[in-house]
Amino acid sequence: MSSAEPQTKKTKMASSLEQLKQLTTIVADTGDFEAMKTYKPTDATTNPSLILSAAGMDQYQHLIDKAIKHGQKAGTTIEEKVGEAADMLFVLFGCEILKLVPGRVSTEIDARLSFNKEASIAKALKLIALYEELGVKRDRVLIKLASTWEGIQAASVLEKEHNIHCNLTLLFSFAQAVACAEAGVTLISPFVGRILDWYVANTDQKTFEPEQDPGVVSVTKIYNYYKKFGYKTVVMGASFRNVGEIMALAGCDLLTISPKLLGDLEKSTEPVKRYLDAEKAKAGSLEKIQMNEATFRWMLNEDQMSTDKLSDGIRKFAADGRKLETMLRSLIQASE
Protein backbone atom coordinates (compact mmCIF):
# COMPACT_ATOMS: atom_id res chain seq x y z
CA MET A 1 0.00 0.00 0.00
CA SER A 2 1.47 3.38 -0.96
CA SER A 3 1.75 6.23 1.53
CA ALA A 4 -0.80 8.19 -0.49
CA GLU A 5 -3.55 5.62 0.13
CA PRO A 6 -5.86 6.14 3.11
CA GLN A 7 -5.32 3.96 6.16
CA THR A 8 -7.99 1.32 6.46
CA LYS A 9 -7.24 0.41 10.09
CA LYS A 10 -7.47 2.77 13.03
CA THR A 11 -4.46 2.83 15.31
CA LYS A 12 -5.50 1.37 18.64
CA MET A 13 -5.45 4.03 21.37
CA ALA A 14 -3.17 3.11 24.27
CA SER A 15 -5.07 2.42 27.49
CA SER A 16 -4.68 4.81 30.40
CA LEU A 17 -2.75 2.04 32.17
CA GLU A 18 -0.25 1.72 29.32
CA GLN A 19 0.17 5.48 29.20
CA LEU A 20 0.68 5.62 32.97
CA LYS A 21 3.37 2.93 32.74
CA GLN A 22 5.40 5.33 30.56
CA LEU A 23 5.53 7.86 33.43
CA THR A 24 5.40 5.78 36.60
CA THR A 25 6.39 2.30 37.81
CA ILE A 26 3.15 0.37 38.39
CA VAL A 27 2.87 -1.96 41.37
CA ALA A 28 0.04 -4.43 42.06
CA ASP A 29 -1.52 -3.97 45.50
CA THR A 30 -2.78 -7.52 45.94
CA GLY A 31 -1.99 -11.04 47.04
CA ASP A 32 -3.88 -12.45 44.06
CA PHE A 33 -1.52 -14.01 41.53
CA GLU A 34 -4.10 -14.03 38.74
CA ALA A 35 -4.37 -10.23 38.88
CA MET A 36 -0.60 -9.98 38.48
CA LYS A 37 -0.67 -12.18 35.40
CA THR A 38 -3.39 -9.97 33.91
CA TYR A 39 -1.94 -6.50 34.55
CA LYS A 40 1.82 -7.26 34.43
CA PRO A 41 3.02 -4.84 37.14
CA THR A 42 6.72 -4.30 37.86
CA ASP A 43 6.45 -4.94 41.62
CA ALA A 44 3.83 -6.18 44.07
CA THR A 45 2.89 -5.24 47.62
CA THR A 46 1.26 -7.42 50.26
CA ASN A 47 0.00 -6.84 53.78
CA PRO A 48 -1.79 -8.98 56.42
CA SER A 49 -5.21 -7.99 55.06
CA LEU A 50 -4.33 -9.00 51.48
CA ILE A 51 -2.74 -12.29 52.57
CA LEU A 52 -5.75 -13.08 54.78
CA SER A 53 -8.06 -12.52 51.81
CA ALA A 54 -5.95 -14.65 49.46
CA ALA A 55 -5.56 -17.41 52.07
CA GLY A 56 -9.30 -18.05 51.85
CA MET A 57 -9.05 -18.98 48.15
CA ASP A 58 -8.74 -22.65 47.17
CA GLN A 59 -5.91 -22.04 44.67
CA TYR A 60 -3.57 -20.99 47.49
CA GLN A 61 -4.27 -23.96 49.77
CA HIS A 62 -0.95 -25.61 48.84
CA LEU A 63 0.93 -22.61 50.25
CA ILE A 64 -0.99 -22.81 53.53
CA ASP A 65 -0.27 -26.55 53.76
CA LYS A 66 3.44 -25.92 53.23
CA ALA A 67 3.48 -23.13 55.85
CA ILE A 68 1.73 -25.36 58.41
CA LYS A 69 4.24 -28.18 57.86
CA HIS A 70 7.06 -25.67 58.40
CA GLY A 71 5.40 -24.38 61.59
CA GLN A 72 4.99 -27.88 63.00
CA LYS A 73 8.62 -28.64 62.33
CA ALA A 74 10.12 -25.32 63.50
CA GLY A 75 7.98 -24.68 66.59
CA THR A 76 7.58 -26.51 69.89
CA THR A 77 4.52 -24.90 71.51
CA ILE A 78 1.32 -24.18 69.58
CA GLU A 79 2.07 -20.44 69.65
CA GLU A 80 5.57 -21.00 68.26
CA LYS A 81 4.14 -23.22 65.52
CA VAL A 82 1.55 -20.57 64.59
CA GLY A 83 4.19 -17.82 64.52
CA GLU A 84 6.56 -19.87 62.38
CA ALA A 85 3.75 -20.84 60.00
CA ALA A 86 2.63 -17.21 59.65
CA ASP A 87 6.16 -16.03 58.83
CA MET A 88 6.60 -18.79 56.28
CA LEU A 89 3.20 -18.08 54.70
CA PHE A 90 4.16 -14.45 54.05
CA VAL A 91 7.45 -15.57 52.52
CA LEU A 92 5.83 -18.30 50.39
CA PHE A 93 3.36 -15.77 48.98
CA GLY A 94 6.27 -13.46 48.28
CA CYS A 95 8.21 -16.20 46.46
CA GLU A 96 5.21 -17.02 44.26
CA ILE A 97 4.69 -13.33 43.48
CA LEU A 98 8.33 -12.97 42.43
CA LYS A 99 7.76 -15.63 39.77
CA LEU A 100 5.24 -13.25 38.21
CA VAL A 101 6.80 -9.79 38.60
CA PRO A 102 10.25 -8.74 37.36
CA GLY A 103 10.91 -6.42 40.30
CA ARG A 104 10.35 -6.65 44.03
CA VAL A 105 7.76 -7.82 46.53
CA SER A 106 6.96 -6.00 49.78
CA THR A 107 6.47 -8.22 52.84
CA GLU A 108 5.06 -6.66 56.00
CA ILE A 109 6.34 -6.87 59.56
CA ASP A 110 3.73 -7.79 62.20
CA ALA A 111 1.88 -4.54 63.04
CA ARG A 112 2.03 -5.45 66.75
CA LEU A 113 5.77 -4.68 66.57
CA SER A 114 5.17 -1.11 65.35
CA PHE A 115 6.55 0.45 68.55
CA ASN A 116 9.41 -2.01 69.09
CA LYS A 117 12.53 -1.16 67.11
CA GLU A 118 14.63 -4.18 68.15
CA ALA A 119 11.83 -6.72 67.63
CA SER A 120 11.10 -5.23 64.20
CA ILE A 121 14.76 -5.59 63.20
CA ALA A 122 14.81 -9.21 64.44
CA LYS A 123 11.62 -10.08 62.52
CA ALA A 124 12.94 -8.49 59.33
CA LEU A 125 16.20 -10.45 59.58
CA LYS A 126 14.21 -13.66 60.09
CA LEU A 127 11.97 -13.02 57.05
CA ILE A 128 14.97 -12.23 54.84
CA ALA A 129 16.69 -15.42 56.07
CA LEU A 130 13.60 -17.45 55.08
CA TYR A 131 13.58 -15.83 51.63
CA GLU A 132 17.27 -16.59 51.17
CA GLU A 133 16.76 -20.23 52.26
CA LEU A 134 14.22 -20.46 49.43
CA GLY A 135 16.66 -18.98 46.91
CA VAL A 136 15.40 -15.38 46.81
CA LYS A 137 18.04 -12.67 47.14
CA ARG A 138 17.37 -9.81 49.54
CA ASP A 139 17.51 -7.18 46.81
CA ARG A 140 14.16 -8.49 45.49
CA VAL A 141 12.39 -8.00 48.84
CA LEU A 142 11.20 -4.82 50.54
CA ILE A 143 10.46 -5.15 54.26
CA LYS A 144 7.33 -3.15 55.11
CA LEU A 145 7.25 -1.34 58.45
CA ALA A 146 4.73 1.10 59.90
CA SER A 147 5.94 4.72 59.81
CA THR A 148 6.17 5.11 63.57
CA TRP A 149 9.36 6.63 64.99
CA GLU A 150 10.45 3.13 66.07
CA GLY A 151 9.62 1.62 62.67
CA ILE A 152 11.60 4.32 60.86
CA GLN A 153 14.63 3.82 63.14
CA ALA A 154 14.42 0.04 62.64
CA ALA A 155 14.45 0.65 58.88
CA SER A 156 17.51 2.87 59.20
CA VAL A 157 19.44 0.05 60.90
CA LEU A 158 18.23 -2.55 58.37
CA GLU A 159 19.25 -0.36 55.43
CA LYS A 160 22.65 0.75 56.74
CA GLU A 161 23.85 -2.32 58.63
CA HIS A 162 22.19 -5.23 56.84
CA ASN A 163 21.60 -3.99 53.27
CA ILE A 164 17.90 -4.80 53.63
CA HIS A 165 15.62 -2.47 51.68
CA CYS A 166 12.54 -1.11 53.46
CA ASN A 167 9.10 0.15 52.49
CA LEU A 168 7.65 2.46 55.15
CA THR A 169 3.88 2.11 55.14
CA LEU A 170 0.91 3.70 56.94
CA LEU A 171 2.38 7.07 56.06
CA PHE A 172 -0.03 9.99 56.28
CA SER A 173 2.01 13.04 57.23
CA PHE A 174 4.84 15.24 56.02
CA ALA A 175 6.67 14.62 59.31
CA GLN A 176 6.70 10.86 58.69
CA ALA A 177 7.96 11.41 55.15
CA VAL A 178 10.80 13.71 56.21
CA ALA A 179 11.89 11.31 58.96
CA CYS A 180 11.93 8.42 56.47
CA ALA A 181 14.08 10.38 54.02
CA GLU A 182 16.52 11.37 56.77
CA ALA A 183 16.73 7.70 57.82
CA GLY A 184 17.72 6.73 54.27
CA VAL A 185 14.91 4.22 53.67
CA THR A 186 14.45 2.86 50.17
CA LEU A 187 10.76 3.64 49.67
CA ILE A 188 7.70 5.15 51.36
CA SER A 189 4.01 4.35 50.81
CA PRO A 190 1.86 7.43 51.57
CA PHE A 191 -1.81 6.39 51.80
CA VAL A 192 -3.75 8.68 49.46
CA GLY A 193 -7.24 7.22 49.85
CA ARG A 194 -7.19 6.90 53.63
CA ILE A 195 -6.29 10.59 53.89
CA LEU A 196 -9.32 11.37 51.71
CA ASP A 197 -11.49 9.10 53.90
CA TRP A 198 -10.58 11.12 56.99
CA TYR A 199 -11.42 14.46 55.39
CA VAL A 200 -14.75 13.16 54.06
CA ALA A 201 -15.65 11.80 57.50
CA ASN A 202 -14.42 14.76 59.57
CA THR A 203 -15.04 17.91 57.49
CA ASP A 204 -18.00 19.47 55.70
CA GLN A 205 -16.46 18.87 52.27
CA LYS A 206 -17.46 15.46 50.90
CA THR A 207 -16.08 15.57 47.35
CA PHE A 208 -12.83 16.84 45.90
CA GLU A 209 -11.48 17.36 42.42
CA PRO A 210 -8.48 15.03 41.91
CA GLU A 211 -5.84 17.78 42.09
CA GLN A 212 -7.41 19.17 45.30
CA ASP A 213 -7.86 15.73 46.89
CA PRO A 214 -6.09 15.98 50.30
CA GLY A 215 -4.24 12.70 49.69
CA VAL A 216 -3.02 13.86 46.29
CA VAL A 217 -1.92 17.22 47.74
CA SER A 218 0.00 15.41 50.52
CA VAL A 219 1.86 13.05 48.17
CA THR A 220 2.65 15.88 45.74
CA LYS A 221 4.26 17.91 48.54
CA ILE A 222 6.29 14.90 49.74
CA TYR A 223 7.47 14.08 46.20
CA ASN A 224 8.49 17.69 45.57
CA TYR A 225 10.38 17.87 48.89
CA TYR A 226 12.31 14.66 48.16
CA LYS A 227 13.29 15.77 44.67
CA LYS A 228 14.18 19.33 45.71
CA PHE A 229 16.61 18.14 48.39
CA GLY A 230 17.98 15.14 46.50
CA TYR A 231 16.87 12.31 48.80
CA LYS A 232 17.36 8.78 47.47
CA THR A 233 14.07 7.58 49.05
CA VAL A 234 11.40 7.05 46.41
CA VAL A 235 7.67 7.71 46.74
CA MET A 236 5.03 5.06 46.05
CA GLY A 237 1.50 6.42 46.29
CA ALA A 238 -0.87 3.82 47.79
CA SER A 239 -4.43 3.17 48.97
CA PHE A 240 -6.35 4.78 46.11
CA ARG A 241 -10.12 5.29 46.14
CA ASN A 242 -10.61 6.24 42.49
CA VAL A 243 -8.85 6.59 39.14
CA GLY A 244 -8.82 10.39 39.45
CA GLU A 245 -6.39 10.22 42.37
CA ILE A 246 -4.08 7.96 40.37
CA MET A 247 -4.14 10.15 37.25
CA ALA A 248 -3.40 13.27 39.37
CA LEU A 249 -0.18 11.58 40.59
CA ALA A 250 1.13 10.54 37.16
CA GLY A 251 4.89 10.95 37.26
CA CYS A 252 5.25 9.75 40.87
CA ASP A 253 8.14 7.28 41.27
CA LEU A 254 5.76 4.36 41.83
CA LEU A 255 2.03 3.83 42.35
CA THR A 256 0.62 0.67 43.95
CA ILE A 257 -2.87 0.00 42.64
CA SER A 258 -5.61 -2.53 43.43
CA PRO A 259 -6.76 -4.99 40.71
CA LYS A 260 -10.14 -3.21 40.40
CA LEU A 261 -8.55 0.17 39.65
CA LEU A 262 -5.95 -1.47 37.38
CA GLY A 263 -8.92 -2.89 35.45
CA ASP A 264 -10.58 0.52 35.24
CA LEU A 265 -7.33 2.04 33.89
CA GLU A 266 -6.97 -0.82 31.39
CA LYS A 267 -10.47 -0.18 30.03
CA SER A 268 -9.99 3.60 29.80
CA THR A 269 -8.28 5.46 26.96
CA GLU A 270 -8.36 8.84 28.71
CA PRO A 271 -5.10 10.70 28.03
CA VAL A 272 -2.62 10.68 30.92
CA LYS A 273 -0.52 13.80 31.56
CA ARG A 274 2.46 14.18 33.88
CA TYR A 275 1.62 16.01 37.11
CA LEU A 276 4.69 15.22 39.20
CA ASP A 277 8.00 16.34 37.70
CA ALA A 278 11.39 15.99 39.42
CA GLU A 279 12.97 18.89 37.53
CA LYS A 280 10.14 21.28 38.35
CA ALA A 281 10.26 20.16 41.99
CA LYS A 282 13.88 21.25 42.26
CA ALA A 283 12.80 24.83 41.55
CA GLY A 284 10.09 24.76 44.24
CA SER A 285 9.93 26.94 47.37
CA LEU A 286 9.80 24.23 50.07
CA GLU A 287 12.19 24.76 52.97
CA LYS A 288 14.21 21.99 54.60
CA ILE A 289 13.04 20.68 57.99
CA GLN A 290 15.51 19.61 60.68
CA MET A 291 14.04 16.35 61.95
CA ASN A 292 14.60 14.59 65.26
CA GLU A 293 12.43 12.47 67.53
CA ALA A 294 10.98 15.40 69.48
CA THR A 295 10.13 17.30 66.28
CA PHE A 296 8.63 14.16 64.73
CA ARG A 297 6.39 13.43 67.71
CA TRP A 298 5.26 17.05 68.02
CA MET A 299 4.44 17.43 64.29
CA LEU A 300 2.54 14.14 64.31
CA ASN A 301 0.68 15.11 67.48
CA GLU A 302 -0.40 18.40 65.85
CA ASP A 303 -1.77 16.53 62.82
CA GLN A 304 -5.04 14.93 63.95
CA MET A 305 -5.69 13.19 60.63
CA SER A 306 -2.30 11.48 60.59
CA THR A 307 -2.46 10.51 64.27
CA ASP A 308 -5.94 9.02 63.80
CA LYS A 309 -5.12 7.14 60.60
CA LEU A 310 -1.75 5.79 61.79
CA SER A 311 -3.22 4.29 64.96
CA ASP A 312 -6.29 3.03 63.08
CA GLY A 313 -4.12 1.42 60.38
CA ILE A 314 -1.91 -0.32 62.91
CA ARG A 315 -4.99 -1.66 64.75
CA LYS A 316 -6.56 -2.96 61.53
CA PHE A 317 -3.40 -4.68 60.26
CA ALA A 318 -2.88 -6.19 63.74
CA ALA A 319 -6.49 -7.46 63.78
CA ASP A 320 -6.05 -9.14 60.39
CA GLY A 321 -2.75 -10.60 61.57
CA ARG A 322 -4.59 -12.14 64.53
CA LYS A 323 -7.31 -13.52 62.22
CA LEU A 324 -4.64 -15.15 60.06
CA GLU A 325 -3.05 -16.68 63.16
CA THR A 326 -6.45 -17.97 64.33
CA MET A 327 -6.94 -19.69 60.97
CA LEU A 328 -3.45 -21.22 61.09
CA ARG A 329 -3.90 -22.32 64.73
CA SER A 330 -7.10 -24.21 63.86
CA LEU A 331 -5.45 -25.91 60.91
CA ILE A 332 -2.37 -26.88 62.94
CA GLN A 333 -4.47 -28.28 65.79
CA ALA A 334 -6.66 -30.22 63.35
CA SER A 335 -3.63 -31.83 61.72
CA GLU A 336 -1.98 -32.99 64.97
Condensed to tens digits (0 to 9), the pLDDT of residues 67-120 reads 999 999 999 999 999 999 999 999 999 999 999 999 999 999 999 999 999 999
CB 130 within 8 A of CB 87: yes
Distances (CA, A) of 116 to 173, 195, 309: 21, 25, 19
Question: Is 280 among the residues known to form the active site?
Answer: no
Separation between Cα atoms, residue 335 and residue 226, nearest integer Å? 51
Helices (H), 40-104: 48-55, 61-74, 78-98
3-state secondary structure of 170: strand
Beta bridge partners of 141: 105
Positions in the chain whose pLDDT score sits under 70:
1-11
16-334, CATH topology level: TIM Barrel (3.20.20)
Q: What is the pTM of this model?
A: 0.93
Separation between Cα atoms, residue 64 and residue 92, nearest integer Å? 9
3-state secondary structure of 243: helix
What does residue 36 show for φ and ψ, rounded to 5 degrees?
-65, -40
Per-residue DSSP letter, 206: -
Residues 6+ apart with CB under 8 A from 276: 220, 223, 224, 249, 250, 251, 252
3-state secondary structure of 33: helix
Helices (H), the chain: 16-21, 33-39, 48-55, 61-74, 78-98, 117-133, 149-162, 174-183, 192-202, 214-228, 243-247, 259-267, 278-282, 293-301, 304-335
77: left (phi over 0), alpha (psi -120 to 50) or beta: beta
3-state secondary structure of 26: strand
Q: Identify the pLDDT of residue 11.
A: 54
Separation between Cα atoms, residue 322 and residue 252, nearest integer Å? 34
The residue ranges of every structural domain in the chain are: 16-334
Q: Of 21, 144, 227, 309, which residue is the catalytic one?
A: 144
Distances (CA, A) of 57 to 64, 72, 279, 324, 329: 10, 22, 45, 13, 18
Q: Identify the pLDDT of residue 84.
A: 98
